[in-house]
């Protein structure tokens, strides 16, 4: 029968400022981010050997006594928190404050970065974490490069109101596009469009007719090429076209997967600073969860197709796309969040994670109403509650809910420091699982797992439906 090809394309257009041409606030962001990540300092290129450590001072410490008037003045000022007062919330607000301080121009680059990063201790230096000790200068330089590269999109200049030409090519045909669709960028330089390729257009295209009349279960690949068209006044565009290869598949079974702590180790429960380092600093091959990649590849080999939905901002699109390749995860669609800019992203904590992700998951479900889905996430945020509610609301579209347990390990770590708090956390986790399980209809598989080998229901579902 006749059908249409629907391709959902999203992206962004930005002008990446060279480091030497960065604005004051952009430099402050990089300075604060380096400190927040507690990266070891780079030794200047002129140094060909590590400097000798300075001997500890034998001079007695000076105790400073403040006058009553000075104490009264300090009482009216908001000082950075002491080390014992630092929480995840103060760390999150530290980065958000970077975009709220209207007096930034009164400070030098260094003092601005230090003053905005209120999560720092009241000392001027923060020692690198143990995992970063003993690194060579080349390794330290790579970590700095990772941070700079991954933050570029956050301090780039979005190009709003610009026309982008999207051209769809069937793999192997670089001459005649199957379809061309123009799209306009929004105020943040982002664009998103669902392209419908009609049946008649496929028949008129030299290779499109093979897709139209071929095996509908066979996989095809569509290359989407994006060209930034000249701006106002017809100024020439100094950018190269970009392109991405998308799998075009028909299957009855699809899988929606979270990213952070589901297939990529972000360690959400370890605190904001750890998450920041894992996302912006660590090498991608260090955050792979190998057993998840292997499980997903086994499902893909049986005909399951994948959709990744994350609360990460669209500015991390290049990083996450590269991670999918590096980690050998099955290729699939990748849906991220548009927070409207860095300020909104770094101050987004008031909205629950499940609420932020729900719309993205619903868009995938609604795009494939004739397919059934396996939902995979983790217990670090609210995937379990979100997926359980979707299973309740869509009992004929959801086949299974699998949730990776990252909470139990966190409880064990806490047990060593505060047994009472750990027991309370354990009780809360057990209650979360109980409520989610009760929400899921009995005919839908539900499992909280630590090793994907435990998810035996997935193979049973594919056998029953004669998939692969």
What CATH number has the domain bearing residue 339?
A: 3.40.50.1000
Q: Rounded to the nearest 10 degrees, how much is the dihedral formed by the CA atoms of 349, 355, 358, 359?
A: -80
Domain boundary at 85, 118, 149, which? 149
In angstroms, rounded to a whole number, what is the distance separating the alpha carbons of residues 95 and 355?
Answer: 22
Query: What is the per-residue pLDDT for 69?
Result: 59
Token code pair at residue 438: 């009760």
Do 212 and 194 meet the contact criterion of CB atoms below 8 Å apart?
no
What 3-state DSSP class applies to 440? coil
Domain count of the chain?
Answer: 3
Query: What is the per-residue pLDDT for 463?
Result: 95
> How confident is residue 341, by pLDDT bands cut at 50, 70 and 90?
low
Specify burial of residue 426 (Cβ count, 10 A radius: 0-12, 13-18, 19+): middle
* 139 & 228 share domain: no
> How confident is residue 121, by pLDDT bands cut at 50, 70 and 90?
very low
102: containing domain: 19-41+77-149
* 318 & 331 share domain: yes
* 244 & 307 share domain: no
Comparison of pLDDT for 298 and 411, the residue scoring more = 298
Assess whether pLDDT exceeds 80 at residue 466.
yes
In the predicted model, what is the mean pLDDT of residues 161-169? 94
Whole-prediction pTM: 0.79
Cβ contacts of residue 138 below 8 Å, gap of 6+? none
Q: Percentage of residues in the chain with pLDDT exceeding 90?
A: 42
* 274 & 400 share domain: yes
* 96 & 233 share domain: no
Over the stretch 78-92, which tens digit does the pLDDT of each residue have? Answer: 555 655 555 555 555
In angstroms, rounded to a whole number, what is the distance separating the alpha carbons of residues 317 and 339?
Answer: 13
Q: Is residue 25 part of a domain?
A: yes
Phi and psi at residue 318, to the nearest 5°: -60, -40
Domain boundary at 149, 182, 201, which? 149
């Amino acid at each position: 029968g006749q059908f249409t090809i629907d391709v959902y394309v999203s992206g962004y257009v930005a002008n990446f400022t060279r480091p030497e041409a960065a604005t004051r606030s952009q430099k402050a962001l990089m300075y604060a981010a380096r400190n927040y990540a507690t990266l070891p300092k780079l030794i200047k290129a002129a140094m060909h050997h590590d400097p000798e450590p300075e001997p500890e001072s034998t001079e007695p410490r000076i105790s400073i006594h403040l006058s009553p008037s000075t104490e009264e003045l300090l009482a009216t000022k908001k000082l950075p928190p002491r080390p014992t007062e630092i929480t995840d919330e103060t760390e999150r607000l530290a980065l958000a404050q970077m975009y709220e301080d209207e007096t930034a121009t009164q400070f030098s680059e260094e003092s601005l970065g230090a003053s905005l990063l209120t999560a720092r201790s009241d000392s001027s230096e923060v020692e690198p974490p143990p995992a970063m000790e003993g690194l060579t200068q080349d390794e330290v330089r790579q970590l700095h490069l990772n941070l700079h590269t991954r933050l570029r999109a956050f301090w780039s200049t979005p190009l709003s109101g610009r026309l982008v030409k999207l051209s769809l090519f069937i793999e192997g045909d670089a001459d005649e596009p199957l379809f061309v669709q123009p799209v306009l960028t929004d105020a943040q330089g982002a664009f998103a469009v669902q392209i419908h390729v009609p049946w008649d257009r496929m028949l008129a295209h030299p290779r499109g007719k093979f897709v139209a009349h071929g095996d509908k279960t066979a996989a095809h690949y569509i290359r989407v090429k994006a060209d930034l068209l000249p701006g106002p006044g017809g100024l020439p565009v100094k950018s190269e076209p970009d392109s991405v290869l998308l799998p075009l598949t028909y299957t009855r079974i699809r899988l929606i997967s979270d990213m952070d702590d589901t297939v990529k180790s972000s360690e959400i429960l370890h605190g904001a600073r750890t998450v920041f380092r894992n996302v912006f600093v660590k090498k991608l091959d260090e955050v792979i969860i190998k057993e998840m990649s292997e499980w997903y590849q086994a499902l893909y080999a049986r005909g399951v197709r994948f959709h990744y939905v994350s609360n990460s901002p669209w500015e991390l699109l290049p990083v996450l796309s590269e991670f999918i390749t590096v980690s050998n995860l099955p290729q699939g669609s990748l849906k991220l969040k548009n927070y409207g800019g860095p300020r909104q992203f770094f101050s987004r904590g008031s909205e629950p994670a499940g609420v932020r992700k729900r719309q993205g998951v619903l868009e995938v479900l609604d795009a494939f109403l004739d397919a059934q889905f396996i939902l995979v996430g983790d217990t670090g945020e609210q995937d379990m509650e979100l997926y359980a509610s979707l299973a309740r609301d869509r009992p004929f579209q959801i086949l299974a809910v699998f949730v990776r347990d990252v909470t139990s390990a966190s409880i064990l770590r806490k047990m060593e420091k505060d047994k009472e708090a750990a027991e309370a956390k354990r009780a809360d986790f057990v209650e979360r699982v109980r409520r989610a399980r009760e929400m899921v209809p009995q005919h839908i598989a539900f499992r909280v797992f630590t090793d994907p080998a435990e998810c035996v229901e997935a193979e049973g579902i594919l056998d029953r439906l004669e998939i692969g």
